[in-house]
Structure 1
Amino acid sequence: MDNSPPDQPARKTSRIQLRNRKRILEAALEVFSAHGYRGATLDQIATQAGLSKPNILYYFEGKEAIHVTLLNQLMENWLAPLEEMDDTGDPLEEICAYVRRKLEMSRTYPRESRLFANEILQGAPRMAPHLETGLKPLVRDKAALIGRWMDEGRLARTDPMHLIFSIWATTQHYADFAAQVNVLMPDEDAVFPGAQAYLDTLFRKLLTPAD
């Protein structure tokens, strides 16, 4: 006869626990985006969150666990603009729409962009698996799609991979170098509309096939 106790149902996470966990991640995003992984400390995260350090460690094993959680959440959003590129759409409009989505991400999620940039600058020690299994196949597929559009004469010929890199560089600049941009262009309300108009012209001129 089996006298072992019945399995206990998993305890649900309370609203307070969910709120505190979200609070910690929000604070950590602020700290990591400002100081990078190496410069950030649990004490800084605790202060930013308005919680004690032991309270932080109740929810996460340590700084790395918080950082990995943020990176995991980020990667989903990071891939979405490229995934939306439609192989049945007009090639030039699809590329320009992708540029707009990436620029909007820089406007809306500047801290996430800097978090990603800091991780890459350190050699991607915690994000390497995502780059291999998520980013790499997606970028290869979209580069192949862009290459096919070029072969069909629907886009001007250029290197698809370097095109994607240049889109990243020109859009993410506004988040990763925001301090510099804000000094050089103090009218913050004009920065992103101006950037969108400029980049749309830039990539249309680059990619419009010659008559």
Structure 2
Amino acid sequence: MSPELHPEVAPTRDRICEAAFALFGEKGYDGASMNELADLVGLAKPSIYNYFKSKEELLVALVEEAMRQWKEHCLEPLAAATTFERQLAVHLRQSVEFSSRSPHVVAVFHMATTHVQGELALRIQTMVETVEAEIQQIFGASLGRAIESGEIPADGEVADRILFLGVFFHGLLFLQTNCPHQVGPLRDRLEPVWRQLYRGVAGRPPQEPLFP
């Protein structure tokens, strides 16, 4: 967890993170410099290190913030869904909306988890694995309840369905990060994508539309 910040420190730290998401999202981690970031925020170049000890520490903070935003937008709303079908529909809608609304956040997260190497990569991997375990637990429990209630058939392993969902949503993340020109068409065709996704998990078409 990040340490609690003194009131006047937090706004500047937030501005640095916001600017870093945009800068790293456009230029990549290696292509962006801390000096350039300081200029964007309006700080004297050495001052930025009062908030982040290094570029590596800044990237870790960005990954933490990206996961916090994603959990708030894409995971927390799942608690209100009463069935697995509704839960998955909400998660798909929220994931596409979040990726479309915050492309730099998604781009930095994808870059940090695929292009960073060495000790920093291991540190980020540990953080991401914790969140992925939470996601798998949520959907695993929901799938188990759906099978017990007869909402979806019992044929097939829950672990296989979780793996399928992981492949789908990671592919969605890749598409929106690396092929932004396809994001618009994806939103336009989200209903048929939803039907294919649910059929892949449940073995039958959904009973409700994606947008009720």
Contact 2:84 2:142 in 1 (8 A): no
Q: Aligned pair in 2 of structure 1 residues 147, 91: CA closer, same or farther (>3 Å)? A: same
CA displacement at 1:143 relative to structure 2: 2.2
Q: Aligned pair in 2 of structure 1 residues 203, 132: CA closer, same or farther (>3 Å)? A: closer
CA displacement at 1:92 relative to structure 2: 1.4
Q: Which residue of 2 aligns with 1:126?
A: 123
CA displacement at 1:106 relative to structure 2: 0.7
Determine whether 1:154 maps to 2:148.
Answer: no
Determine whether 1:199 maps to 2:193.
Answer: yes
Q: Aligned pair in 2 of structure 1 residues 49, 12: CA closer, same or farther (>3 Å)? A: closer
Residue 113 of structure 1 aligns to which amino acid in structure 2? V
CA displacement at 1:87 relative to structure 2: 8.7
Between structure 1 and structure 2, the one with the greater Rg is 1
Q: Aligned pair in 2 of structure 1 residues 105, 197: CA closer, same or farther (>3 Å)? A: same
Contact 2:23 2:37 in 1 (8 A): yes
Secondary structure class of the residue paired with 1:134: helix
Contact 2:77 2:90 in 1 (8 A): no
Q: Which residue of 2 aligns with 1:136?
A: 133
Q: Which residue of 1 aligns with 2:32?
A: 40
Determine whether 1:82 maps to 2:75.
Answer: yes
Q: Aligned pair in 2 of structure 1 residues 131, 21: CA closer, same or farther (>3 Å)? A: closer
In structure 2, how many angstroms separate the alpha carbons of the residues matched to 1:39 and 1:150?
A: 48
Secondary structure class of the residue paired with 2:123: coil
Question: For structure 2, which runs of at least 5 residues remain unmatched after alignment?
Answer: 206-212
Secondary structure class of the residue paired with 1:126: helix
Q: Which residue of 1 aligns with 2:43?
A: 51
Determine whether 1:168 maps to 2:180.
Answer: no
Q: Aligned pair in 2 of structure 1 residues 45, 195: CA closer, same or farther (>3 Å)? A: farther
Determine whether 1:114 maps to 2:107.
Answer: yes
Q: Which residue of 2 aligns with 1:62?
A: 54
Q: Comparing 156-165 with 92-101, which one deviates more in the overlay?
A: 156-165
CA displacement at 1:174 relative to structure 2: 4.5
The one-character-per-residue Cα deviations of 1:126-159 (angstroms, maximum 9, x if unpaired) are 3233234333144234224314423543125552
Q: Comparing 18-27 with 149-158, which one deviates more in the overlay?
A: 149-158
Higher RCO, Cα 8 Å, sep 6+: 1
CA displacement at 1:19 relative to structure 2: 3.7
Contact 1:110 1:176 in 2 (8 A): yes
Residue 167 of structure 2 aligns to which amino acid in structure 1? S
Determine whether 1:145 maps to 2:142.
Answer: yes
In structure 1, how many angstroms separate the alpha carbons of the residues matched to 2:126 and 2:147?
A: 31
Q: Aligned pair in 2 of structure 1 residues 86, 208: CA closer, same or farther (>3 Å)? A: farther
What's the % identity of the aligned pairs?
21
Q: Aligned pair in 2 of structure 1 residues 126, 31: CA closer, same or farther (>3 Å)? A: farther
Q: Comparing 115-124 with 87-96, which one deviates more in the overlay?
A: 87-96
